[in-house]
Structure 1
Amino acid sequence: MNTTPAPTSNPAATPPKVVLVTGASSGIGEAVARRLAGEGHQVILTGRRTDRLDAVVAELRRDGRRAEAHVLDVTDRDAFAALVTDVIAARGRLDVLVGNAGVMLLSRLDALLVEEWDRMLDVNVRGLYNGVASVLPHFRERGSGHVVTIASIGAHEVAPTSAIYSATKYAAWALTEGLRLESDPAIRVTTISPGVVESELAEHITDPHAAELMVGYRAAQIPPDAIARSVSFAISQPADVDVNEVIIRPTAQR
């Protein structure tokens, strides 16, 4: 669990927003939820591990923060749309979607772990556009909104074992950039591409070769709150400022 203390107030004096964060039960998603709730925003934490979500929300509420947990599989388009509808009905609006849910199942192509490739495509790409499809009509009707995609440095480079993962993150980058170009200026769009961040992602790699390579690659890491701070920065800008893209990684990662 991320124990980074949340700030007691919003440093940018941003009016409170209603923010939905996917993949918020751990890692970057949890850190984003904690930071934004600490800055006074109403945060909806979503994910599949309800025990983790409930624990984070309980802690935030004990500290006087506004947070709630909802189970969500981002690959289920109907469930995503229904949740967004419910949030808007209960809160009157939704201001920000942070599309963070993702998996990183690295392997060489000749390992032929096709089911894992399918899983990455489903979560990292389908899960993202399901979110966009769910929030975009509301954003267009209101004339405002913000989509923040947590992509990866893998959207900008390919390494041995990362071909499919990088393909999904290139797709996430392209999808988000296309949304920015197609949207009315009142709808803001940000892509954040983290480098190596402390998280559970590497623990799910099943390919022994890829897992071994990750040991050295992940020697230099930054805490997930470093990414959360960049999300906070992006959504705290005045309405006429759109932070298009941020790449953030350890200084030792080259």
Structure 2
Amino acid sequence: MLLENKTAVIYGGGGSIGGAMARAFAAEGARVFLAGRTPGKLDTVAAEIRRDGGLAETAIVDALDEAAVNGWVDSIAAQAGSIDVSVNLISQDALFVPLLDMPVADFGQAMDKVARSFLLTAKAAARHMVKQGSGVILHFGGSHPTNSTPGLGTVQIGCDLVEAMRRQWACELGQHSVRVISMRTGGIPEGMPDLPEMEPYKQKMVDATLLKRAATLDDVGRVAVFLASEHARTLTSTQVNMSCGAFVD
């Protein structure tokens, strides 16, 4: 198993992406700890993992609360013996408003959530990873400097902020053998609401790819497992493009 005896913490573990990663990590031998704000969703993912023979625990944690994040991660490290993988899947407060029309306070609040959650969760994991001399911090939803689009408001800027933090974290943590990587898709139709009005948007995602198919949740889980494993030990400070060619590097 690629992640046997590894410990993975996932913020936003009850969502479609978080659940896909959690199930994939557990299937490869990792013990997963899921954090979020909706107990029902977290419990559903954990129950699926346990049903299949995996190990999963849940906790209600506010990723903007420094004491709560540090306390949760410290308790996991004490219980499991290490923090091997940390994934932040906290969603942005997306504002699809042109910057010219965007209230400064709203912009600041949206950026503050992104910056604080990614800084707090990375710091909590990095403290333990530096001591143990290993670990992977994984981000999801990277950006591309040539793909800015009118109307995205805070979304593209938030992704760019995460990528800047990924580069800085990788630079600072590399000497401790801690890797920092981000993943980017061109959208995952499977993870979107199954509503008639959403079908045109799902099809646009597929049509925009070179492979004429979009990444699936299973694809996300498989790639995440690879990146968290020793098979990817040469990868850090990089963005993994799994957009099926929607974004050309």
Of 22, 36, 44, 1:47 maps to 36
Matched, 1:97 2:86: yes
The 1-side partners of 2:228 and 2:14 are apart by 21
3-state SS of the aligned residue for 1:134? helix
Q: CA RMSD in A?
A: 2.9
Counterpart of 1:7?
Answer: none
Contact map agreement 2:186 2:246 (CA 8 A) in 1: no
Q: Trace 1:68-83 onto structure 2 (pairs within 5 A).
A: 68-83=57-72
Contact 2:94 / 2:153 at 8 angstroms: preserved in 1? no
Distance in 1 between residues matched to 2:218 and 2:164, nearest whole Å: 25
- Supply the AA of the counterpart residue of 2:180: V
Is it true that 1:161 corresponds to 2:112 in the alignment? no
SS at match of 2:161: helix
Aligned counterpart in structure 1 of residue 216 of structure 2, from 207, 217, 223: 223
Distance 1:217 1:96 in 2: 33
What is the aligned counterpart of 1:172 among 162, 170, 190?
162
Report which stretch shifted further, 129-138 or 111-120. 111-120
- C-alpha contact (below 8 Å) 2:133/2:176 kept by paired residues: no
- Partners of 2:185 and 2:215 within 8 A in 1: no
Which position in structure 2 is the counterpart of 1:38? Answer: 27
Displacement, 1:29?
Answer: 1.1
In 2: Cα distance, 1:156 partner to 1:233 partner: 27
Is 1:192 paired with 2:183? yes
Contact 2:134 2:177 in 1 (8 A): yes
Per-residue Cα deviation, 1:111-135 (whole angstroms, up to 9, x for no partner): 5366664553244322111111111
Aligned with 1:233 (options 221, 226, 237): 226
Instruction: Report Cα offsets for 1:201-232 as digits up to 9, x if no partner.
Output: 9x9xxxxxxx9x96775465432222222111
Note the residue ranges of structure 1 that are not aligned, 5 or more in a row.
Answer: 1-9, 204-210
1:134 aligns with 2:124: yes
Higher deviation after alignment, 237-246 or 71-80 = 237-246
Provide the residue aligned with 1:121 in structure 2.
111
Aligned with 2:241 (options 228, 238, 247): 247
Instruction: Give the distance between the partners of 1:223 and 1:118, measured in 2 at CA.
Output: 33
The letter of the residue matching 2:240 is V
- Contact 2:141–2:184 (CA<8 Å) still a contact in 1? yes
Q: Which amino acid aligns with 1:190?
A: I
Q: Is the 8 A contact 2:14 2:42 kept in 1?
A: yes
Q: 1: CA distance between counterparts of 2:121 and 2:129?
A: 12
Q: Mark the CA change 1:170 to 1:215 in structure 2 (over 3 Å): closer, same or farther.
A: same
The Cα shift of 1:251 comes to 4.3
Percent of paired sites with the same residue: 24
Deviations 1:34-81 (A, max 9, x none): 111111110111111111101111121122110111112211121111
Secondary structure, in 3 states, of the residue corresponding to 1:148? strand
* SS in structure 2 at match of 1:94: coil
Within 1, Cα distance between the matches of 2:108 and 2:183?
Answer: 23
Q: TM-score, normalised by structure 2?
A: 0.82
Aligned residues: 235
User: Are 1:25 and 1:49, in contact at CA under 8 Å, matched by a contact in 2?
Assistant: yes
Aligned mates of 1:94, 1:180 — CA distance in 2: 17
Which segments of 5 or more consecutive residues in structure 2 lack a partner in the other structure? 208-213
